[in-house]
Amino acid sequence: MDVKLERYRIFCTVVETGSFSAAAEKLFVTQSAISQSIHSLEESLGATLFIRKKSGVTLTAMGTLLYDYAAGALSLLNAAERKFEAYSSLSSGELSVGASDTICRHVLLPVLKEFHDRYPAVRLNVSNRVTSEAVSDLQSGKTEIAFVNLPYPPVREDSQITVEEALPLHDVFVAGMDFRIPRGKRYDWDEIAELPLVMLEKRSNSRCRVDEFLAGRDVILSPEFELGSHELLLAFAAAGLGVACVTREFSEDALNAGTVKLLTTREPLPERSIGILTVSSVPLSAASKAFLEIFREQYSDKQ
């Protein structure tokens, strides 16, 4: 502990107990150590702080002035220490996470529930953002963890961000049950481009990855609908409004329920992943560490 700060603690204890001997007993030190500390403090400040009496001590005018400030400062420090202790024990604090709506719904929701059940006193702050915005919030300190769609090249170029690939993702095309698919049909990309397509809006990272992949094969997609929600993609496809490009892992319920069916392509779209991003130079809070531990518990079989 800083020597000067400790002197102020001793000074306040003497004031509150009324004597050097009582302060020594409370702090488990010798009376000589108390006297020496007060003498050093008076010398450094150039003022007499106490009037010594046989019955104890009383404050001088300068001592009273100092006590008003020192007691307030020490009270704030004690409150901060208690707050840090509560944060560390997860009996208080806040968890700040950034992720897209789709990742929140299909991946993080059970993790968030389990975290809340275990640590109900920790406030949950979930920021719904597309990948670029989630990364920006992480860099600015608004969130401690970002769950994003990878690959996202800018984070590979940022040495301040730690990237962990967590769960694999696969993009596929689905259509409503009335959409006719010839038996054994495997679609070429040129044929996919001719279909009435429903896709995520262009600012979505997953849409960008599909467009880039197909552009490398000289195929440009011109969707009839561009939407901001993965759930809407499935709904539009199920309603017969087009063939939707969706994430298979997030579409299992619809596929199993028979509201949409899968189109098989000759070549699969490249595998993507959900990435966990953190800032390398900033230690994670106890809440963030606990959240990631629960995440890994729940998805250990899929990583």
pLDDT in tens, 189-208: 999 999 999 999 988 889 99
What CATH class does 3-89 carry? mainly alpha
Q: 198: buried, middle or exposed (CB in 10 Å: 19+, 13-18, 0-12)?
A: buried
| Chain position carrying tokens 């509150």 | 16
For residue 3, the model assigns a pLDDT of: 61
In this structure, the dihedral spanned by the alpha carbons of residues 212, 216, 217 and 222, taken in order and rounded to 10 degrees, is: 30
Task: Give me the residues paired with residue 125 across strands.
Answer: 96
How many angstroms separate the first and last alpha carbons of the chain?
Answer: 45
Angle between helix 20-27 and 3-17 (nearest 10): 120
The answer, yes or no, to whether residue 146 has pLDDT greater than 60, is: yes
Whole-number average pLDDT of the chain: 90
Domains 3-89 and 171-270 share a fold: no
Q: Which two tokens stand for residue 26?
A: 């409370």
Residue 277 φ/ψ, nearest 5 degrees: -110, 135
Q: What is the DSSP letter of 168?
A: E
Arithmetic mean of pLDDT, 136-143: 89
**Cα(212)–Cα(222) distance, integer angstroms:** 13
Task: Decide: 86 and 93 in contact? Cβ < 8 Å.
Answer: yes
Rg (CA), the chain: 31
Arithmetic mean of pLDDT, 216-240: 96
For residue 89, the model assigns a pLDDT of: 61
**Cα(89)–Cα(68) distance, integer angstroms:** 32
Arithmetic mean of pLDDT, 32-40: 92
The structural architecture, per CATH, of the domain 171-270 is 3-Layer(aba) Sandwich (3.40)
Lowest mean pLDDT among 65-74, 109-118, 207-216: 65-74
CA distances from 109 to 106, 234, 241 (A): 7, 19, 29
In this structure, the dihedral spanned by the alpha carbons of residues 3, 8, 9 and 14, taken in order and rounded to 10 degrees, is: 130
Task: Give me the residues paired with residue 163 across strands.
Answer: 277
For residue 2, the model assigns a pLDDT of: 58
The answer, yes or no, to whether residue 302 has pLDDT greater than 80, is: no
Name the residue ranges covered by the structural domains of the chain: 3-89, 94-167+273-299, 171-270
Q: 184: buried, middle or exposed (CB in 10 Å: 19+, 13-18, 0-12)?
A: exposed
Q: Which two tokens stand for residue 61?
A: 């005018």
Arithmetic mean of pLDDT, 49-56: 88
Task: Decide: 283 and 197 in contact? Cβ < 8 Å.
Answer: no
Q: Which two tokens stand for residue 244?
A: 């939707």
The answer, yes or no, to whether residue 80 has pLDDT greater than 80, is: no
* CATH superfamily of the domain spanning 94-167+273-299: Periplasmic binding protein-like II (3.40.190.10)
Instruction: Give 114's Cβ-side CA count (13 Å radius).
Output: 15
